[in-house]
A and B are shown apart, each in its own frame.
Chain A
Amino acid sequence: MQKVLFPVLTGLVLLAIWWGAHAAGAFPTGTVPSPPEVATAFGQEIRSGRLFDDIIASLYRVAWGFSVGVLAAVPLGLVIGRSLQTRAALLPWVNFFRSLSPIAWIPFAIIWFGVGDPPAIFILFIAVFFQLVLATSAAVATVPKIYYRVAEDMSLSPADVLFRVTLQAIMPQLVTALRVAIGVAWMVVVAAEMIAVRSGLGFLIIDARNGLRMDLVVAGMITIGLIGIALDLVFSRLTRIPSVRWGFER
């Protein structure tokens, strides 16, 4: 009950403050819309179907960027975590690229991938890839050596050790890293959709700003925030998988 009631009450308080400040003339004209203006903008976007289309477009790009990022980063993180030489050779560079904002890649994204979804997906991939490589390799480095001795006793093959021991052992940390990564990817989608696309929630915000439609900007921001919460809820469910839950209950 508290999990629903408290955030709703907090939201109502924030809404009241916003509304009261607007009514009191705290914001210069045209800088911050009122709640009813935002609600009207929401209504228009929903009725026209554009909001739904933009949500789908953004989710599509995030799904691709995130999935490709995970599929590339986790195996590389496993290798880096298990091999001292590979770690020594690659980890500083992973850290180097992780420190670069994904937005810095926008010029390359446009030159390499042109227009449409690919450059935006590439930016999202970059946002996910380097941080997940680092998180995975760090998790692998903490796997107790005793598991490998047991695996050696059992004569497990190298592939079995990697997938049935290492990957399983890091799963709780990996799930946490995936939660963070999907959050970052969703955060970066606005920047990714500033380039070479004409759909998505990021484009909605940029397009609205260009038209000085601050009501639409706020509607887009609220939509992004709500979907961010929903995505985190979905990923937090992964922690309930029995073979993952042990990491959160010990």
Chain B
Amino acid sequence: MTEIGRILEDTAVELLRIAVTELPTEYVEVIDEAMEETEGAVGKAQLTNILENVDIAREGSKPMCQDTGIVAFMVKVGDGFPLRSEVKEILVKATRRATEEVPLRPNAVDMFKGNTRDNVGLNGHVPIIYFDLVEGDDLELIAMPKGGGSTNIAAHRMLKPGLGMKGVKQFVIEALSNAGSLGCPPYFVGVGIGGGEDICMKLAKEALLKPFRIRSEDPKVAAIESELLEKVNELGIGAMGLGEGPTALDLHVEMAARHPASLPVGVVISCWALRHAKAVISSDGEVEIDKSV
């Protein structure tokens, strides 16, 4: 493997380690504030446990949750970056290494043969890799392992366009109500509207990583985000679904144009541990890791 390939592999392993062991401090601060504000003893205890657990993880460099998820990478490859088709193979190798070294729990299950034991499989689909081609000489890499509990409460519906934005908002509220206690609240919520049956889900997943608590530049979208975040919290699911403390910490909406006959909506939810880490690698192999949100 080339030198730059080795750098990419090491960086990907490091990003997975950071993602599963260090919760971004911006999230920790908000959970801490919520813990102070929560009056009920049950909710307060849940948030206190989360914070204590996050501290132990950071200090000991250990995964904060045993479910280190299905591994996903978001990759933006610049025109001048020296690697192309090798990137996928390198990220697969990095996933195998991280499984051993961090360690990650082996979470890739072959329906016929059982757990593959290395977080890789089948047919080139896991780890999940999203590629984008961009201008410039750098490669931007985000590692985003996501656990099964909050993945299971994702929701998708092809609405009748006549239901309009009101129908979209009602669907989001319904999805969160159904999620209830199941996915380790307080949640982060991503909503994808339009695009098609597949793209709305991808947009919803990407929306989770939009800048924390910063509303959309589009004032109409920003208003929907604020309204939905408020209403989701009015549901009163609370920390761990025990009815006390916040239900959601943030919510983002990402939009795409839709077919006239379709109104696809995706809702992707993350548990309190929205794990991710980002790095930018320059064409000459310099690595800059960004742990903020």
Pairing of A with B: no
Residues of B whose CB lies within 8 Å of any CB of A are none
